[in-house]
């Protein structure tokens, strides 16, 4: 049986806190280094509207790489599968999320999947709109709709901090421009991408988004089909194969659910037909995943038999 109370979750949060000091907060984006390492929160959102949560649940965090799943959904809605996958692949890399290595060795020169930075930049490039501002407005409206929260916004300080220091991402983008995967002005794309990564919410909002994906793209409360069924399926499949960076294989064995993490410490889980999970814990392991968040999911998976496999 799945979790039925906040108290059950609180016990798991207390146990998972034990590993917090085995990790570190991300600091390659300077503003992220200010995060409080001890924070930890979790929320579960069920299709019948129940929400269970524990820990620092009011704490806001930026989506970072979790936004890659949502940008992919919008690009697939905008262009369809064929167009998108002509420009970005479907295979895991086994490399760190910001690696440039396989961009050069893979032929034809396109990023291997939409969950690594190169692939995400190519996907964000595909979001339709009349200007960078309009494209960002479309993406954030989409995310407001998915989370049923009209107040979702982005963190300007973190967006600017990443924009000012994102030279590795610029390098990835310029490489892809040389190979016609990206055709727009790179500074505009970096502006859009860094704002996308800085979209902010708490674990309750994230659990609601996870639940929409779990319910094949349908908002269980309003019955609105926000994401087409096939697009939701593709997103969840990438979450399984590439969602936890180059720890996705181990995570599939130890936890066994579609999940996507970000370097601010968020993890979005989506258990097909059952529920959405939102986690925030900024202390990261050496692969860049929330160390206590992973521990929490491992314990939840065992206690509630969550693995799909
Ligand atoms: N892994 C992540 O969360 C990376 C996102 C971050 N904004 C980057 O592009 O480097």
Q: Quick one: pLDDT at residue 94?
A: 83
Tokens 């086994």 belong to which residue? 94
Average pLDDT over residues 16-20: 98
> Distances from the Cα of 137 to the Cαs of 70, 98, 191, 199, 250, in angstroms?
14, 26, 13, 11, 36
In a domain, 309, yes or no: no
What percent of the chain shows pLDDT beyond 90? 93
Q: What is the ipTM of this complex?
A: 0.97
CA–CA dist 73, 159 (Å, integer): 22
- Confidence class of residue 215 from pLDDT cuts 50, 70 and 90? very high
CA–CA dist 67, 64 (Å, integer): 6
In a domain, 36, yes or no: yes
Q: Annotated catalytic residue: which of 13, 88, 255, 263?
A: 263
In a domain, 1, yes or no: no
**Number of domains the chain is built from:** 2
Q: Quick one: pLDDT at residue 103?
A: 85
Residue nearest to atom 4 of ligand 1 (CA): 65
Q: Annotated catalytic residue: which of 19, 193, 212, 283?
A: 193
80 shares its domain with 163: yes
73 shares its domain with 193: yes
Our mutation pick for probing the ligand 1 site, out of 66, 70, 117, 119, counting the most ligand atoms within 8 A of Cβ, is 117
Q: Is 41 in the pocket of ligand 1 (CB under 6 A)?
A: no
126 shares its domain with 248: no
Q: What is the pTM of this model?
A: 0.97
Least confident of 56-70, 106-120, 264-278: 106-120
- Confidence class of residue 1 from pLDDT cuts 50, 70 and 90? confident
Cα 152–153–155 angle (5° rounding)? 135
In a domain, 280, yes or no: yes
87 shares its domain with 193: yes
Peptide bond into 21 cis (omega under 30): no
| CATH number, domain with residue 143 | 1.10.1500.10
Lay out the sheet containing 153-154: strands in order across.
61-62, 199-201, 153-154
185 shares its domain with 140: yes
Average pLDDT over residues 270-276: 97
- Confidence class of residue 109 from pLDDT cuts 50, 70 and 90? confident
CA–CA dist 26, 34 (Å, integer): 9
The pLDDT tens digits of the residues spanning 93-108 come to: 888 888 888 888 888 7
110 shares its domain with 21: no
The pLDDT tens digits of the residues spanning 149-200 come to: 999 999 999 999 999 999 999 999 999 999 999 999 999 999 999 999 999 9
Cα(15) to ligand 1 centroid in Å equals 28
Domain containing residue 146: 65-197
195 an active-site residue?
no
Looking at 182, 197, 212, the residue that finishes a domain is 197
Q: Are 37 and 24 in contact (CB under 8 A)?
A: yes
125 shares its domain with 247: no
Looking at 179, 197, 215, the residue that finishes a domain is 197
Average pLDDT over residues 274-283: 98
65 DSSP β-pair partners: none
Q: Is 53 in the pocket of ligand 1 (CB under 6 A)?
A: no
In a domain, 11, yes or no: yes
Q: Is 263 in the pocket of ligand 1 (CB under 6 A)?
A: yes
The pLDDT tens digits of the residues spanning 48-96 come to: 999 999 999 999 999 999 999 999 999 999 999 999 999 999 999 888 8
141 shares its domain with 233: no
Residue 297 exposure: Cα atoms within 13 Å on the Cβ side: 31
CA–CA dist 263, 285 (Å, integer): 10
82 shares its domain with 131: yes
Q: Is 64 in the pocket of ligand 1 (CB under 6 A)?
A: yes
Q: Annotated catalytic residue: which of 110, 245, 260, 261?
A: 245
Please enumerate in sequence order all residues whose Cβ is within 8 A of that of 37, keeping only pairs 6 or more positions apart, or say none. 20, 21, 23, 24, 25, 282, 283
CA–CA dist 241, 236 (Å, integer): 9
Q: Quick one: pLDDT at residue 270?
A: 98
Length of the chain: 309
| CATH number, domain with residue 17 | 3.40.710.10
Cα(277) to ligand 1 centroid in Å equals 20
| CA-based end-to-end distance of the chain | 17
Our mutation pick for probing the ligand 1 site, out of 262, 266, 284, 289, counting the most ligand atoms within 8 A of Cβ, is 262
CA–CA dist 282, 52 (Å, integer): 21
108 shares its domain with 232: no
In a domain, 132, yes or no: yes
Mean pLDDT, the chain, integer: 96
What is the number of other CB atoms lying within 10 angstroms of the CB of residue 105?
A: 7
26 shares its domain with 98: no
Our mutation pick for probing the ligand 1 site, out of 98, 111, 113, 247, counting the most ligand atoms within 8 A of Cβ, is 98
Question: Angle formed by the axes of helices 229-242 and 203-214, to 10°?
Answer: 120
Q: Quick one: pLDDT at residue 98?
A: 86
In a domain, 271, yes or no: yes
Looking at 154, 175, 197, the residue that finishes a domain is 197
**Token couple for 233:** 């399926």
Average pLDDT over residues 30-58: 97
Q: Is 281 in the pocket of ligand 1 (CB under 6 A)?
A: no
- Confidence class of residue 284 from pLDDT cuts 50, 70 and 90? very high
Q: Quick one: pLDDT at residue 4?
A: 93
């Amino acid at each position: 049986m799945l979790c039925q109370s906040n108290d059950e979750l609180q016990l798991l949060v207390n146990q998972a806190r034990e590993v917090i000091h085995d990790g570190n907060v991300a600091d390659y984006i300077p503003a992220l280094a200010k995060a409080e390492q001890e924070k930890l929160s979790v929320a579960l959102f069920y299709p019948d509207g129940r929400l269970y949560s524990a820990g620092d649940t009011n704490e806001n965090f930026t989506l970072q790489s979790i936004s890659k799943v949502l940008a992919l959904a919008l690009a697939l809605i905008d262009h369809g599968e064929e167009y998108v996958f002509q420009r970005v692949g479907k295979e895991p890399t086994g490399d760190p999320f910001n690696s440039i290595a396989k961009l050069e060795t893979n032929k034809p020169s396109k990023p291997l999947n939409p969950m690594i930075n190169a692939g995400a930049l190519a996907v964000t490039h595909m979001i339709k709109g009349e200007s960078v501002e309009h494209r960002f407005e479309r993406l954030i409206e989409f995310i407001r709709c998915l989370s049923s929260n009209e107040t979702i916004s982005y963190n300007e300080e973190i967006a600017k901090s990443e924009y000012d220091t994102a030279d590795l991402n610029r390098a990835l983008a310029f490489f892809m421009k040389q190979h016609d995967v990206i055709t727009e002005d790179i500074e505009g794309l970096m502006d859009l991408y860094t704002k996308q990564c800085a979209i902010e919410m708490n674990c309750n909002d994230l659990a609601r988004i996870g639940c929409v994906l779990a319910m094949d793209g349908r908002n269980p409360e309003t019955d609105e089909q926000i994401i087409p069924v096939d697009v939701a399926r593709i997103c969840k499949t990438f979450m399984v194969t590439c969602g936890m960076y180059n720890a996705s294989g181990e995570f599939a064995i130890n936890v066994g659910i579609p999940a996507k993490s970000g370097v601010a410490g968020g993890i979005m889980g989506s258990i097909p037909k059952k529920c959405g999970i939102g986690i925030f814990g900024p202390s990261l392991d050496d692969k860049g995943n929330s160390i206590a968040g992973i521990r929490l999911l491992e314990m939840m998976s065992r206690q509630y038999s969550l693995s799909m496999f």
